Amino acid sequence: MMMMNSNRCSKLFTLLLALVLAVSAVAPAAALSVSASDAPASAEVGEGVETTFTLEQPFSEYEQWTLNGSTNLTDVTWTVKSYDQAGDKLSQQSYDGQTFDHELNQSNTFEVEVVIEGTVPEVGNYSYDPAQQTRLAELQQVREGGSSSAIDSWSFRPYTTESDEARTAIENAEQTISDADSSGAGVSEAQNDLDSAISAFDHGNFENAGELASDAEESANSAQQSSQQTQMLLYGGLGLVALVLVVGAVFWYRSQQDDYDKLG
């Protein structure tokens, strides 16, 4: 009986081991991933930017494919570097222009690094909310036959000194209006000025946008001060009424005491 149980356990162990090995054999390899270093959230028009993209596990699915990159930056240089698992550089190739294609073969490549250098272009259309965006870079995996899939893309907010000053003025006005509204002040006039400021910004009229935003902020501050004064007067009036009632109650109490003494 013990021999039969031992055989059954041995067979069960063998079966479980086979299942584990089978699952391990079909387990997916680590997927291609990419990270960006020093990717700007915003940058001034005419400013030079540089960002490094690191592709890890580039051959998790395909042993050979083409890396495609594109950008809206101008005066662009791309530099593609390949490294082995020890971190030693295997190759380096540079490309000029807003797009590039680079052939990748597995060989000993463990990691691929893409460095983009370029200049922030002029902005065609400005937008306050959502803020205008331009493409920093888009990387794609192009397979044999021409089919492709996006790896990742990155964007940032381009600005000029004038547009940034107008944006700051609008943001300040928004905060002031929000505070005034929370205190119970009427902010309809300030909100109208703010809406006009945003419209001016969207049309690229930054000086006008800044002035309208300042008007909105002043209107909101004035409304809040007026509301606070009204509340103070209201509280003062209520306090005076309360004082009159207290004094009247005291006089009434004393008069009642006097009448009681006379009767006594």
Query: Mean pLDDT over all residues of the chain?
Result: 85
Q: Which of 68-72, 191-195, 200-204, 235-239 has the lowest mean pLDDT?
A: 235-239
Write the CB contacts of 123 (distance below 8 Å, at least 6 apart in sequence).
45, 132, 134, 158, 159, 160, 163
Residue-wise pLDDT for 140-163, tens only, equals 999 988 899 999 999 999 999 999
Write the CB contacts of 151 (distance below 8 Å, at least 6 apart in sequence).
32, 34, 55, 139, 140, 141
The alpha carbons of the chain give a radius of gyration, in whole angstroms, of 36
Place 113 in a pLDDT band, splitting at 50, 70 and 90: very high
Place 69 in a pLDDT band, splitting at 50, 70 and 90: very high
Q: Which of 8-22, 83-97, 215-229 has the lowest mean pLDDT?
A: 8-22
Residue labelled with tokens 């008007």: 215
Place 31 in a pLDDT band, splitting at 50, 70 and 90: confident
The Cα-based distances of 240 to 227, 237, 244, 249, 252 in angstroms read 20, 5, 6, 14, 18
Over range 168-185, report the average pLDDT: 95
Place 190 in a pLDDT band, splitting at 50, 70 and 90: very high
Place 2 in a pLDDT band, splitting at 50, 70 and 90: very low
pLDDT (0 to 100) of residue 137: 98
Classify residue 152 as exposed, middle or buried by CB count within 10 Å of its CB (0-12, 13-18, 19+): middle
The Cα-based distances of 103 to 80, 99, 106, 139, 148 in angstroms read 10, 14, 10, 13, 14
Place 107 in a pLDDT band, splitting at 50, 70 and 90: confident
Over range 17-29, report the average pLDDT: 43
The Cα–Cα gap between 40 and 133 comes to 11
CATH of 33-159, one of 2.60.40.10, 2.60.40.3670, 3.90.550.10, 3.40.50.920: 2.60.40.3670
The Cα–Cα gap between 114 and 89 comes to 13
pTM over 0.85: no
pLDDT (0 to 100) of residue 248: 61
Strands (E), 106-213: 111-119, 134-142, 148-159
Over range 28-49, report the average pLDDT: 89
The Cα–Cα gap between 152 and 150 comes to 6
Element (H, E) at 76: strand 74-83
Write the CB contacts of 67 (distance below 8 Å, at least 6 apart in sequence).
55, 80, 101, 102, 103, 104, 112, 114, 139, 140, 141, 142
Q: Is 50 exceeded by the pLDDT of residue 221?
A: yes
